[in-house]
């Protein structure tokens, strides 16, 4: 992209220099594990004059996912994303509210039918006709169904819309369900987490804008670049686990030394996410739960987060070899005694056989004598 071309967009991007903009796109490419040349492609997609519209519907959400996005730095939400995409409806970030907001949404959907991206945060209550979450006087489940039918792509951000999240915790009185239960005719890309790392969401959206297709998804429709590995596989405390060094109580000697938190209930071994790799908040190393000394509770994993007790031990999805070794000769069980015993047994058997033959012959002889 030439400097001349870029200048026409630079005001839209808040006066960012071409150099900084290219840097940002390259960083985004790298964080998705794409080759650096993809950064140039991302840049092209970003400054394309047609900003894809995004409709953001919120169901049983806490606004945490939006809050996480607000704290992203590359790109910052206001300077880059609001100019990259046209966020036509968002309960928190929309300028208008009430009827005006609803009108703006309806217009955008009409104008961009089949072309907009639908993002949903929060779980969808299905019990009793969905009355437990009403927006603009209607159950949100109906609004979502209508809107999703006309969307080009559907993204579920956060654990709630991905698999149910907090509202779906036992006894789930509202029938809180993941988005995939409501939108069944299209693949629903899931970005779980409570909240998810904002870059997992941003990277996925940018990937879609750049390559016009979704990144590789796993069997739960989560992008593999972020959710392909267990937290346990990337954890900085893994060497402690492999060597059997565990903290057993909060504040004890081992906890202070930063040992593995498995025995304190860390759910890293059964949770898929990239927290230990990209951390949170861009504030340096250790800025994630385990890094601060608290066990992971599996916020992004359905069946683990808000379901398994915080301090119960995780089940291990991948059991691997430890730090220690078996020895060449494990001194267990008798060996010398066995050999001697064997000899004794053999000798006894031979002797018994001889005696038996002898006594059998003698008995026969006596019988013969008796007969005479």
Partner 1 sequence: MDINRRDFLKVASAGGVLLSGVGSAQAREAKPRIKDAVGMLYDSTVCTGCKACVSACKQYNEMPPSFSSNDKLWDDPLDNDSKTLNLIKLYKNGTAAVKDREKDGHAYIKRQCMHCVDAACTSACPVSALKKNEKTGIVMYNVDACIGCRYCQIACPFNIPKFEWEKTFPQIRKCQLCSHRIEKGGYSACAEFCPTGATIFGKMDDLLEEAKKRLTYKPGEYRKYPVARVDGKEKTERLVTPYVPKVYGELDGGGTQVLYLSGVPFEKLGLPDLGPKSVAQQSETIQHTIYKGMIAPIVVLGGLVYLVHKNTKDK
CA dihedral 36, 38, 43, 46 (to 10 degrees): -140
Please spell the DSSP secondary structure of 251-280, one letter per residue.
TSHHHHTT-B-GGGT--GGG-B--HHHH-S
Give the β-pairing of 188-191 and 176-177: unpaired
Which of 283, 332, 334, 370 touches partner 1 by CB under 8 A?
332
> From the centroid of its chain, how far is CA 244?
25
Strands 134-135 and 138-139: antiparallel
Looking at the Cβ atoms of 207 and 246, the one nearer to partner 1 is: 246
**Calpha distance 53→62 (Å, rounded):** 23
d(CA 39, CA 18): 13
Considering only residues 14, 286, 322, 342, which one is a binding residue for partner 1 as defined by CB under 8 A?
322
Q: Which stretch binds partner 1 (CB under 8 A): 84-92, 129-137, 183-191, 328-336?
A: 328-336
**Per-residue interface string for the shown chain with partner 1, residues 255-284, x marking contact by CB under 8 A:** -------x----------------------
Instruction: List phi, psi (to 5°) of 220.
Output: -105, 20
d(CA 132, CA 127): 8
Measured from the CB atom, the residue of 14 and 322 that comes closer to partner 1 is 322
Separation CA 9–CA 48 (nearest Å): 9
CB of 360 to partner 1, least distance (A): 8
Question: Which residue's CB is nearer to partner 1, number 283 or number 324?
Answer: 324
**Smaller CB distance to partner 1: residue 73 or 320?**
320
Q: How far is the CB of 151 from partner 1 (least distance, A)?
A: 40
Q: Choose one: 10-18, 178-186, 247-255, 314-322; the region binding partner 1 (CB under 8 A).
A: 314-322
Judged by beta carbon, residue 134 or residue 364, the one nearer partner 1 is 364
CB of 328 to partner 1, least distance (A): 4
Of 341-370, binders to partner 1 (CB under 8 A) are 357-358, 360-361, 364-365, 368
Instruction: Decide: 61 and 160 in contact? Cβ < 8 Å.
Output: yes
CB-CB contact of 154 with 178 (8 Å): no
* Binding-residue total with partner 1 (CB under 8 A): 24
From the CB of 327, what's the least distance to partner 1, in Å? 6
DSSP-derived secondary structure letter, 14: T
Q: How far is 362 from 358, CA to CA, in rounded Å?
A: 6
* Furthest C-alpha separation in the chain: 134
**212 binds partner 1 per the rule CB under 8 A:** no
Find the part of the chain contacting partner 1 (CB under 8 A) among 163-171, 172-180, 225-233, 317-325.
Answer: 317-325
- Residues forming contacts to partner 1 in the complex (CB under 8 A) are 241-242, 244, 262, 316, 319-322, 324-330, 332, 357-358, 360-361, 364-365, 368
């Amino acid at each position: 992209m030439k400097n001349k071309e870029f200048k026409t967009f630079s005001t839209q991007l808040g006066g960012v220099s071409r150099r900084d903009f290219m840097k940002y796109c390259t960083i985004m490419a790298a964080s998705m594990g794409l080759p650096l040349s993809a950064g140039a492609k991302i840049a092209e997609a970003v400054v394309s004059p047609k900003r894809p519209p995004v409709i953001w519907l919120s169901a049983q959400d806490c606004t945490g996912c939006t809050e996480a996005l607000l704290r992203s730095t590359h790109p910052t939400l206001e300077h880059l994303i609001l100019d990259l995409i046209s966020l036509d409806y968002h309960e928190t970030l929309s300028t208008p509210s009430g009827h005006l907001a609803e009108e703006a949404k309806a217009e955008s959907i009409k104008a961009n039918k089949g072309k907009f991206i639908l993002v949903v945060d929060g779980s969808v209550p299905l019990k009793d006709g969905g009355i437990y979450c009403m927006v603009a006087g209607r159950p949100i489940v109906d609004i979502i169904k209508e809107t999703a039918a006309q969307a080009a792509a559907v993204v579920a951000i956060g654990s709630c819309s991905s698999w149910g999240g907090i509202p779906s915790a036992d006894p789930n009185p509202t029938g809180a369900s993941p988005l995939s239960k409501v939108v069944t005719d299209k693949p629903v890309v899931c970005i779980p987490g409570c909240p998810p790392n904002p870059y997992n969401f941003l990277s996925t959206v940018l990937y879609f804008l750049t390559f016009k297709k979704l990144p590789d998804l796993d069997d739960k429709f989560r992008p593999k670049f972020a959710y392909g590995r267990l937290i346990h596989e990337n954890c900085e405390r893994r060497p402690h686990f492999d060597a059997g060094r565990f903290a057993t109580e909060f504040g004890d000697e081992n906890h202070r030394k930063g040992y593995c938190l498995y025995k304190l209930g860390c759910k890293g071994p059964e949770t898929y996410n990239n927290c230990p790799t990209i951390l949170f908040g861009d504030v340096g190393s250790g800025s994630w739960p385990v890094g601060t000394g608290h066990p992971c509770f599996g916020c992004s994993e359905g069946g683990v987060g808000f379901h398994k007790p915080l301090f119960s031990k995780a089940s291990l999805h991948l059991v691997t070899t430890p730090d220690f070794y078996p020895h060449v000769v494990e001194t267990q069980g008798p060996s010398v005694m066995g050999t001697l015993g064997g000899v004794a047994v053999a000798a006894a058997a031979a002797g018994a056989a001889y005696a038996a033959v002898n006594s059998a012959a003698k008995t026969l002889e006596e019988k013969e004598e008796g007969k005479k």
